[in-house]
Amino acid sequence: MPVSLHEDGALVSLSGVARVVSLPGRAPLQILAGVDLTVYPGDHVSIVGRSGSGKSTLLNILGLLDVPSAGEMVFGTEPVERMSERRRAAARGASVGFIFQQFNLLAERTALENVMTPLLYARGRQFWQREQLAGAMLERVGLGKRLQDRPARLSGGEQQRVAIARALVRSPRLILADEPTGALDIATGASVMALLAEVAAESGAALVTITHDPKVAALASRHYLLQDGVLEPGRQAAA
């Protein structure tokens, strides 16, 4: 079942969220502390922070891959602490699209098969029309003539565009991008990021990007800085 929106219109909200991990024989490690963040439909949020500041941990929590150790999180209308693991997986599949630095495409599958993969877990029209929907999404990211190519035959920028098509093919309400341009040269990264922001905006989805790159962060409309697990409003970087 896709996510419904909270009455204040929020897609996901975190209040006082902490993440602590226990390591055998060592003191518990606090990765996130007191994180407050609300994401609305159509939002474009950037989170910058040094390596090890907790960015991926925060993204994993936003995307229901991980859960807070303390604090409150509401995904749509559902308090996350009351969601079973199965419910979190279903909500993640229907409502969240992930984009990673290393593309994470399946090497043995064509571009079309890669983009169809999330639709294998969908129901109804999304399942039955998966080939057509995946083809249309690849067309949208400019790869309509590369449907049968495997990742090894595509450039880095093209592979990331396949990954964008795969992340968006189920029309997620929330798109989470973890260093989406980190493996690309500057010009390719800029065009891929512009495309991602454009297709996300077209679909009305919220886009949360974590990045080291001020130019990528500058495309967002709201900016945050994560420092040692503490999230603060950030200044807009110059484009």
Chain residues binding ligand ATP by CB under 6 A are: 21, 23, 29, 31, 49, 51-57
Residue 79, SS3 per DSSP: strand
Least Cβ distance, residue 103 to ligand ATP (angstroms): 16
Nearest Cα to Cα of residue 119 among 133, 109, 108, 105: 133
Least Cβ distance, residue 64 to ligand ATP (angstroms): 16
Closer by beta carbon to ligand ATP, 69 or else 126: 69
Least Cβ distance, residue 18 to ligand ATP (angstroms): 13
Closer by beta carbon to ligand ATP, 77 or else 102: 102
Closer by beta carbon to ligand ATP, 32 or else 162: 32
Closer by beta carbon to ligand ATP, 113 or else 178: 178
Q: SS3 letters for 165-224?
A: HHHHCCCCCEEEEECCCCCCCHHHHHHHHHHHHHHHHHHCCEEEEEECCHHHHHCCCEEE
CB neighbours of residue 238 within 10 Å = 7
Closer by beta carbon to ligand ATP, 26 or else 145: 26
Beta bridge partner(s), residue 226: 49, 231
Least Cβ distance, residue 225 to ligand ATP (angstroms): 12
Least Cβ distance, residue 224 to ligand ATP (angstroms): 13
CA atoms within 13 A on the CB side of 61: 33
Residue with the two structure tokens 């991980």: 66
